[in-house]
Amino acid sequence: MWVNPLLQALIDAAQSEQTSRTIRIVCTILVSLLYLIGLACLFLLVFVIEGQGLFIRGFFLVMGIIVLADYLKFLKALVRKRRKKASKGYPVK
């Protein structure tokens, strides 16, 4: 229940131009850790844990794919902002 607002606040801080570079890097790392832990858990539920039905495994697989797509969208937005900033003539460090 508290993870969604926390994740959204971290994503907003990571993509904000008003925060310092250090804070953006820390927020990006935290968001990446949360996504990767969630992905690992979902894919472990699909492929490792025995005794689950095919429907349940399919459900967890679809959930894992949705989380992976959302994480890739987040990374793409970060790269796009960096490229847009570089194309405007600002130096990118």
The DSSP secondary structure of 12-80, one letter per residue, reads HHHH-SSS-HHHHHHHHHHHHHHHHHHHHHHHHHHHT--S--HHHHHHHHHHHHHHHHHHHHHHHHHHH
Of the given ranges (1-15, 21-35, 51-65), which has the lowest mean pLDDT? 1-15
Q: How confident is the model at residue 67 (pLDDT cuts 50, 70, 90)?
A: very high
Q: What is the pLDDT of residue 39?
A: 92
Provide the pLDDT confidence category of residue 88 given band limits of 50, 70 and 90.
low
Task: Evaluate if residue 93 carries a pLDDT over 60.
Answer: no
- Confidence (pLDDT) at 66: 93
Orientation of helix 54-87 relative to helix 3-15, angle to 10°: 20
Q: What is the pLDDT of residue 72?
A: 93
Q: What is the mean pLDDT of the chain?
A: 85
Q: Which residue has the higher pLDDT, 3 or 34?
A: 34
